[in-house]
Each structure stands twice: as C-alpha cells, then as structure tokens.
A and B are shown apart, each in its own frame.
Chain A
C-alpha cells in the first residue's frame, strides 16, 4: 500500500461497516428478529436460514473486496 489514498480509505471503511453490520445481524439484539422457527426455508428453521444467508452475504462481501483489490493491478 503505497502512500495515502483517500478513496481507498473510503472503500475500506465501507467494507468494514458492511462486515460489522453482518456481524451484528448474527448476535443479539438484532438476531432476535430471526430467532423463530417459521417460515421454514430451504428445509431450515428461520434462525438457521438467517445465519446461512448472512454467511453467504459475507462471502459476497469478501468476493467484492477481492475483485476490487485485484482490479487495481495490485
């Protein structure tokens, strides 16, 4: 990482906020909105489905980060 780059900093802050939100969604108090059995989706109780969904969201976040980092020719 050569030198200070305000745009780069903004992008990293954005990603950090996104991952923090995902993390908050997995613990209480926010997890309480998902802490129920119905609806059962893809054969999973809703709480479990929620955790799988947020896991996939975080995967998408990491994928975006990867693409962004390597598109810059680094």
Chain B
C-alpha cells in the first residue's frame, strides 16, 4: 500500500470516530434552547475541561505556535504567559456566570449584558462584531485543516475537499447535537492532541539534538537574540510582548463562545475546571520545541510560510512511518476541529439569541432551536466560501482579539461595578471598536509598537467610566442581583 493511503486511512478513522461521538452525544435528547446552547447546565468536570481546552487550543497550537517559535523565537512565549492570568480573571466571572445564568435562565454573553444593562442594542452590537471575529477565526481553522490534509496525503486530497470533509463533519455534529456534540468530540480530540504534542515534541528534539538544553544553546549561539524579548536579533520588543499578554489575559474570557461555557456546568465544576486549566497550558511546552528544533536545521527559504514548519519537519527532516504521520495529522486536525466546533456553535447561538430574538421576541422554543441549527449551517457555508473564495477578506479580518477585548469593560463591569450604566457600556464599546478599526485599517502603526487592542481598550474604559458616572445610576435592587450574587 502506498504510504499516503495509510496516512489518509489513519486520519479517516479519526474523522469517523469524531463524527460518531458527536452524533451519539445528542441521541435521544429533547432539544430545548438550554440543552442546545449550554447542555442543560449539567456537564461534569471532564466534559467541561475538554470542551474548554478543545476550544482554546486551535490550529494555532499545532501550526501557528511552532511557526512562531521557528520564525519569531521568544515572542511565542506570550501564549504561555496569558494562560494563567486569563484563568484568574475567569475565576472572577465564571462561577458568577454559572450562578446567575441558572437563576435568570441565561445562555449567552449577550443575555447577561441585556439583563444587567436593560438594553437590547449592546448585545446586538457585540454579536455583530463577534460574528465577524468568529468567521475569521473559523477561516483560519479551515485553512489549517485543508493544508494539513493536503500535505499529509502528499497532495492527493485537494485543499477544498479536505476542508469540506473535516468541517462538514463538524457542522453535522454541531447541528444535530449542539454543545454536547462539540463537548464529546472534544474529549477524543483533546486527548489525541495532547498525546501527539508531547510524543512529537520530545521525539523531534531527542532525534535531532542530544537534549532540549543542547538545542537551545545551539540556537542561542547561532542566532543570539532569537530566544530573547527585545535587543539585537530579537523578533519582538518588550512593549509589544507585554501589551499582547495584557490584551489576551483580559480578552480571552470575553470571546462569546468561551464566556458561554460558564453556563454549561454548576458553579463548583466551573471552579474545578479553571483550577486544572493552567496545568493544561503546560501542554504548550513541547509544541514550542517542534518549532525551535527547526531554527538551526531548516532555512526559512525552504518554507512558503512559517506555519508549515511542523509538516516540513515530519516530511523533510525526519523520516517516520506513515502510521505515525497519520496520527500526527489526526492530532493536528483534532486541534483545529475542536475549536471550529465551539466557534461555529457559539456563532450560531449568538446570532439567533442576541440579534434575531431581539427583533422577533415571540419565537417558540422549537423555532429558536431550529433557527440556531440553520444559523450554524449558514455560518459554516459562509466561512467555507470565504476561506476558498475571497482570500483577501480573510486577511482583512485579522486580529479578532483586538475587537473581542472591547467587550471586557461592560462584561466585567456587569458583575463588579455598581455605577456602570447602559449608556456607558454602549459608548465605551463603540469607541473601543472604532479605535481598533482605525488602527487596523487606517493608521497601521502604533506608539512604541504597543498592541492596538490595548490602546482601544484604554479609550473604551475611559469612555465607559466617564459616561456611566454622568448618567443616571441603575436601581439599587436591580444592580444587587448581579454584584451581590
């Protein structure tokens, strides 16, 4: 048998398993909105943990992070840096989300904003901005998936077909089983990607070098500065590094599809999940090694893009049996599919719950669930079309974090600031988004190379605070339901 057929078979087995698991998860369930969006709020620790980690670690983990380690060196450490602070902030809002969500029957982030600020416009604005960020995020996953399948089968499966099959499976199990489909498939996907990351990361280092320490000394000798932030030879300055960590720490939990996961379990389960999660972050360590291993072994000119370092290492630098190549391919597919499912599910839920229901408040429960399913399908089709049709658009939408972080002031304010008002929340969000748009499209450089999202966030916070203080406070009893809960 030709080796690419073996590789394809291994990846095919994984795909079939993911589909079967996702479909089985939703069998014999009556789908209310609560069940479809937040799994009836009854997920256990394992399911919640894998759902979150599957969502968090995306195609970026397998392609982007090694690519950054290879091309930008120490800059990649920021992905490790923001993980624990994001969890600490999550501790401040996640358990409250679980508690208040259950009491008031909330299922999306927009639900919370609407209840606290007594306003339908803010959740709709947030949903629109988030949907743009979501679609871009899905496109990145799709491109990664398509590329992996194409390279790992030595070009026998074209890009369009690989993405269609893998993402088609995701859309099918999300449409049929909702968040439960995503969660169960994430258990398989999460386990697979952790195993592959560790096995591959350590194998590559010990195959090419005598030890990780020897590898880093060799890199440091050949490219001084590659392993440092700032200074000659470094690929990222201190201001950029620090502001990226700040932005991502504050923004991570504001992604609507991640925020929503606060509703899927009880308060105590959420706390346990948050607790264990930073340890999951150690998962990133061997992934970096894969990229670093290439620094002194692979010339950048050998790659069309830095993201291709992992497949390149497997094919051109190492020679491993096809079964292993297939497993690595399946692990990388798992990373992107387990993010694509949560994002597509989140996007479909948010569009219906926060935009359509605001316009048509009298929809029946059944109609809402079916609309969400349709929305998942439509968003899936749009994302697929954008990935392969209008390439430049994808590039234009880069930088989802810069926009998502603009939800943070009103999001945290909802739980922790009594004086926050509707007018303050809306004007802050609008100004922050406008500044982010300005620095993304109009004036592309920022002072000291600071992250543009952080600049926008500062403007946002100032506006939020000033306008809130100038406007009429919300009734005390109303505010206490959120602050005191």
Contact = CB atoms under 8 A, between A and B. Distances in A.
Contacts of B275: 59, 62-63, 66
A28 B242 contact: yes
Given A45-B216, A58-B88, A58-B278, A28 B238 contact: yes
Contact of A47 (B74, B212, B242): B74
Nearest to B226: A37
Contacts, number: 102
A45 B213 CA distance: 8
B282 A52 contact: yes
A47 B245 contact: no
Nearest to A27: B242
Contact of B220 (A26, A37, A52, A65): A37
A28 B241 CA distance: 8
Q: Is the interface of B mostly helix, strand, loop or mixed?
A: helix
B88 A52 contact: no
Interface stretch (B16-24, B78-86, B116-124, B375-383): B78-86
B335 interface: no
A44 interface: yes
Contacts of A37: 216-217, 220, 227-228
Given A35-B229, A43-B211, A55-B84, 19 more contacts: A19-B85, A23-B85, A28-B238, A31-B238, A37-B220, A43-B212, A43-B213, A44-B285, A45-B74, A45-B216, A48-B285, A48-B288, A51-B80, A56-B278, A58-B87, A62-B91, A66-B272, A66-B275, A70-B268
Interface of A: 1, 19, 22-23, 26-29, 31-32, 35-37, 40, 43-45, 47-48, 51-52, 54-56, 58-59, 61-63, 65-66, 69-70
Nearest to B74: A47
Nearest to B229: A35
Contact of A35 (B80, B85, B228): B228
15 contacts: A23-B85, A27-B245, A28-B238, A28-B241, A35-B229, A40-B216, A44-B216, A47-B74, A48-B77, A48-B288, A54-B84, A55-B278, A56-B278, A62-B88, A62-B278
B274 A62 contact: yes
Given A28-B238, A28-B241, A58-B87, A51 B228 contact: no
Interface of B: 74, 77, 80-81, 83-85, 87-88, 91, 205, 211-213, 216-217, 220, 227-230, 238-239, 241-242, 245-246, 249, 268, 271-272, 274-275, 278-279, 281-282, 285, 288, 484
A27 B282 CA distance: 19
Nearest to B245: A27
A26 B220 CA distance: 22
B183 to A, nearest CB: 23
A67 to B, nearest CB: 10
- 5 residue pairs, one from A and one from B, having the closest CB atoms: A43-B212, A58-B84, A27-B242, A28-B238, A40-B213
A73 to B, nearest CB: 13
Given A26-B245, A45-B227, A51 B81 contact: yes
Contact of B84 (A22, A63, A70): A22
A46 to B, nearest CB: 9
Contacts of A22: 84-85, 88
Contact of B228 (A1, A36, A55, A62): A36
A13 B68 CA distance: 37
Contacts of A51: 77, 80-81
